Every structure is written in C-alpha cells, then in structure tokens.
Structure 1
Amino acid sequence: MKSLVFTFLFLFGFSITIAAQSTASKQISTFKIEAPQLNTYKTIWVYTPKSYEASSKHYPVIYMFDAQNLFDEETSYVGEWKVDEYLDTLTNKDVIIIGIEHGNEKRLEELTPYPHEKHGGGQGDTFLQFIINTVKPHIDVAYRTQPEAEHTSIFGASLGGLMAFYATIKYPETFSKAGVFSPSFWVNDKIFELASSSEIPKTSKFYFLVGSKESDSMVPDQEKMVNLLKEKGVDENNIKNIIIKGGEHNEKLWSENFPKAFEWLLQ
C-alpha cells in the first residue's frame, strides 16, 4: 500500500523523508475491480475475521462507504474509524466488512441519490448499482458469505449515511440493516418523499446517530425521519435514534460510536 510521505527541508539545504506507517490490520486486504456503471476502477477493502481461514462457515457482510477512512490512518482524510482494530478484539461476532472507496473529487456525485440545488450530484443510484450488481456478486463468489438480505447490512456517515439509508429503503431485497451516522438528509427533500412512499419491511433495522453540535438541521432531520419510519410501521425495536451531546461532524464521533452500532445491527 502506498505510503504518505512528509518531507522536511532543513536550513543546511538537505531534506529527510518520513513515511507514515499503515495502521491497517493484518485481516485487511484490497483489490481493484472494474466499475462499468461508473466508467472507472474502484479499490475494494476487505476485512475477514480471524476465524475465517481456519473455518468453513459462512459470514454476514457489512458494506461500508468511504473505505479510505475506515481502516487506515495512512489513507484517511482526518483520522480513521479504527473499524479493524475494534473487530480484531471480538471473539463471538464474526463478520466480513467490505469497504468501498469514494472517488475523491467525485464523492458528492457518487454519494447523493438526488442532486443538491447548489452543489449538484445525484448519481448515487448508479453507485449502488455498482455495489449491487458488480461488487456483491464478486464478494459472494470469492468469499464465504451469507448472501441473503437478512445477513447483509450497509453503513456510512455523512453522505455515506444518506446512501446507507437510501439503499435500505430502495433495495430491501439486498440490504435489511443500515448504520446511518450523521446522515446528510439536507441534500434533497426527495429522500423524505421516498421513505414516505416506499413499502418498508417491518423487519428492516436502522441505527441512526447524530451529534448535537453538527449543523442546525441534522438533529431535526434525523428525528423527522425516525418518526416517519415509525408511522410507516417499522417496528420501534428495529430503530435506534441516538443523539450524542456535544458530538461534532467528524471521524472521532463515528469511530467512537461504531462498536455500539455494530453490536446492535448484528443482534
């Protein structure tokens, strides 16, 4: 994996180069795959549990957005979630995690199901088609997964949280559980219209989390969506609505709260 490099120039006219060390677990591997829906190639990160090589069992799968920020300080924008470090400590909840990298300057375009009036975007459904029709079939062949929707979750934060929610509402035959951190429902009100008009399985599970110090609309929007789901008949026991006092819109919030969300979704 390519190292980030920091160069320090000294007064004497020479420099030294220090390579940042990767913090990714030994359980992490990566591969590139063609994304014909997006006319590009994508790097996919795979976390397999420590039990994987020595067993023959099949595992539930969580698909996660923004792979660059999940596992490795070296590739993260402003800190990693430490998903792999947490999973390495577990002895009784084995799962395969699939991290899908965002397209850097194309992130807004990829992770918004509807365009924003000012910022554009809106190609999120095409990105999901890549996950559903290209990534997931490959993963289900290459790894011992439990491919059914009841064993398949999707997880993200910010725009990734928006997309995780959208995916579970739009494609319940593929995803039955969503980790929805700091969801960017502000992008377009059509997300509320979709939830209102969709047939949502009563068994779908949603773990919502937001910090009280995020933008003014974040907490009200999350509560609005939670109430809408309850009105649609989703079992209240299948909805978590977590508001972290003092929480800000950053990797620290998401990293610290990933373990509880993970445990609840995998119950």
Structure 2
Amino acid sequence: MPSLRSTLAPLLFVATLSVPATAADAPKVSTALPGVSLLGSPVEMPGLERKRQLRLYLPPGYATSGKRYPVLYMHDGQNLFDNATAYAGEWKVDETLDALAKEGKLELIVVGIDNGQEKRMTELNAWDNARIGKGEGREYTDFIVKTVKPMIDRQYRTLPDRAHTAIMGSSMGGLASHYALVQYPDVFSKAGVFSPAYWTAGQSVFDFVTTRPAPKDARVFLLMGGKEGPQMNADVKRMAETVKQTGHPAANTVLKIVPAAEHNEAFWAGELREALLWMFAPEDAKAASSK
C-alpha cells in the first residue's frame, strides 16, 4: 500500500500551481513579444458566475498576410507568454511560434485562457474529487467551445474547422485537454496532453476515454517527465494503452516520457516545438515520419 506521503505528493505539487503571487514578490520584467496581447476585458463564463481573462498570440505576418490560420487553445494563460504574469516561469509560446513562423514551418493563432487561481483545480477537472472539490470542467470546456471559440472565429481570420483546431495544457490542463478532445470531437482534432493529472479524476477518466473513442484522425500527444512521480507516470502509460485499446491508430498517438524531466514550465516549454510540429503536421508528412 502506498504511503500517505506518496499519495498526497501529486496533490501538493499540482496544487501549488493554483496559488497566486503575493504582493511581496519582486516585480518581474515582461518577456511577451509584440504578437501577444490581452483580449479585451474578462469574459463571462456561463454557468460558473465568474469571468476569465483571455490572452491572444498572433503570428508575425498576421497584419499583412490576409491568410487564415489554425488555432490552438491553451489553459493557464498567465503562464504561456510572459514571465511577468507566470507563476513559475513561462512556456515561451510566443518565442517558439515566432521562430517556427520565421523558419516557414508553422503559423498559429493561440488563445490562452487564464486559470482561476483558487478555482483552477476544479475548473480544469470534469469529475468530482473528494479532496479537491466538485468538478467544473464541463462548464469550463463549454465556455471555451460555446463562448470563446465563436468570438475568436468572428473577430480573427481563423480556420475554424476541427482539422485546424487544437487544445493543449499541462498538469490539470493536460487532463482538461484530453477531456475536451473526447467531449467535443467535432470541435477539436488535436490535443497536447502534457504531464496530465489523471489521478485527480481517478477511474472515471479512463472509463470516459474507453466508452467514447476519439475519431481515428484525432492526434494525441502525451508527455510526461520521469521525475513527476510514480503515479503520474503509471497513469500516462495506462492512458496510452487505453487509447490503443479503443482502436486508435498508433500513428496518431505519441507517448513521450523524458526520464530526467520534472513537473515545471521549463520542461513543457522545451517540448512545445516538437509537439506542435507533430500535431499540426500535414497528414502525408506525419505518416512519412512515423515509418
């Protein structure tokens, strides 16, 4: 039987990501590039009686190209683009995508949804947890699909179909991203599931994925650090096997475990480029790379 310490360890280090900065923290210098902006005022979240700030990244050529772009929706918006707003370092999403655009490899619009700080653990979980609280993930995902996405598609030159729409996050955001892909297969065709906190959902998330197989063309990138704990590593391997048992093609699933990696933004930032290039690769290029 696992010790109490080993049982509570995931809760402790995942929960720390929901703690807001204090006034005593030293000011941080903004690292956001010109393509990043706050998207207006916080947006009302139907069914949750609260609002949430959105952050937007536009590719370097957006203003002059006239083109339409794929869209990636990401959780924990405060941590994506700017060290000044990040809790424990940023993902460097803007730096990574500016570089990919300059190389002619990938151009995306990214929409970051800020986390709810003390509400983060419940908003990003579609299932109830006795220690954490009642899950609000269904309402949160509905907010992205029914409020945020239509607004983005109206206001920006997007490619709104599922083939060009993805979702990504880490820890609780990894869990939320996998849930969104399965819950809304007509909206999302790709999910970046980084360091997923499947343990917060228990058996329910495995049953959910088993009984509602994702479309065969859906792409799932599962990432885990070897030092993120035995339970999280066991769970992501179990999920990869669960996805396989639903009949999902091996070419459309990645399970990457980085032995020396820990649960932090530096790890996720370092893996972002590879994940995005695989998720958004043209079908023929992805098929060739898997041979």
Q: Normalising by the residue count of structure 2, what TM-score does the alignment of the two structures yield?
A: 0.84
Q: CA deviation at 1:19?
A: 4.4
Alignment of 1:48 with 2:58, yes or no, is yes
Q: How far, CA to CA, are the matches of 1:148 and 1:37 in structure 2?
A: 26
Q: How far, CA to CA, are the matches of 2:51 and 2:133 in structure 1?
A: 23
> 1:178 is matched with which residue?
191
Q: How far, CA to CA, are the matches of 1:221 and 1:37 in structure 2?
A: 31
> 2:31 is matched with which residue?
23
The one-character-per-residue Cα deviations of 1:20-63 (angstroms, maximum 9, x if unpaired) are 32111100011222223321221111100011101111100000
SS of corresponding position for 1:213: coil
Alignment of 1:116 with 2:129, yes or no, is yes
Number of equivalent positions: 255
Q: Normalising by the residue count of structure 1, what TM-score does the alignment of the two structures yield?
A: 0.92
Query: Which structure 1 residue ranges, 5 or more long, are not aligned?
Result: 9-17
Q: How far, CA to CA, are the matches of 1:19 and 1:190 in structure 2?
A: 41
The one-character-per-residue Cα deviations of 1:149-181 (angstroms, maximum 9, x if unpaired) are 111000000000000001001110011100000
> 2:97 is matched with which residue?
87
Alignment of structure 1 residues 130-169 onto 2, 5 Å = 130-169=143-182
> 1:200 is matched with which residue?
214
Alignment of 1:66 with 2:80, yes or no, is no
> 2:3 is matched with which residue?
none
SS of corresponding position for 1:89: helix
Change (3 A) 1:153 1:7: closer
**What percentage of residue pairs aligned between the two structures are identical?**
40
The one-character-per-residue Cα deviations of 1:110-153 (angstroms, maximum 9, x if unpaired) are 01110112221310010011101100000000000011111100
Q: How far, CA to CA, are the matches of 1:122 and 1:214 in structure 2?
A: 23
Q: How far, CA to CA, are the matches of 1:220 and 1:6 in structure 2?
A: 38
Structure whose residues are more often helix by fraction: 2
Q: Which has the larger radius of gyration?
A: 1
Q: How far, CA to CA, are the matches of 2:28 and 2:76 in structure 1?
A: 20
Q: How far, CA to CA, are the matches of 1:5 and 1:109 in structure 2?
A: 22
Q: CA deviation at 1:220?
A: 1.3
Q: How far, CA to CA, are the matches of 1:49 and 1:37 in structure 2?
A: 33
> 1:11 is matched with which residue?
none
| 1:129 partner amino acid | D
Q: CA deviation at 1:224?
A: 0.9
Alignment of 1:101 with 2:111, yes or no, is no
Change (3 A) 1:6 1:103: closer
> 1:221 is matched with which residue?
235
Q: CA deviation at 1:5?
A: 9.8
Contact residue 38 and residue 54 of structure 2 kept, 8 A: yes
Contact residue 5 and residue 19 of structure 1 kept, 8 A: no
Query: Quick check: 114-123 or 159-168, which moved more?
Result: 114-123
> 1:187 is matched with which residue?
200
Q: How far, CA to CA, are the matches of 1:82 and 1:5 in structure 2?
A: 23
Structure whose residues are more often strand by fraction: 1
Contact residue 6 and residue 19 of structure 1 kept, 8 A: no
Q: CA deviation at 1:216?
A: 1.3
| 2:135 partner amino acid | G
Q: How far, CA to CA, are the matches of 1:57 and 1:239 in structure 2?
A: 29
Alignment of 1:243 with 2:257, yes or no, is yes
Q: How far, CA to CA, are the matches of 1:172 and 1:7 in structure 2?
A: 44
Contact residue 27 and residue 84 of structure 2 kept, 8 A: no
| 2:171 partner amino acid | S
| 1:29 partner amino acid | S
Q: How far, CA to CA, are the matches of 1:191 and 1:59 in structure 2?
A: 32
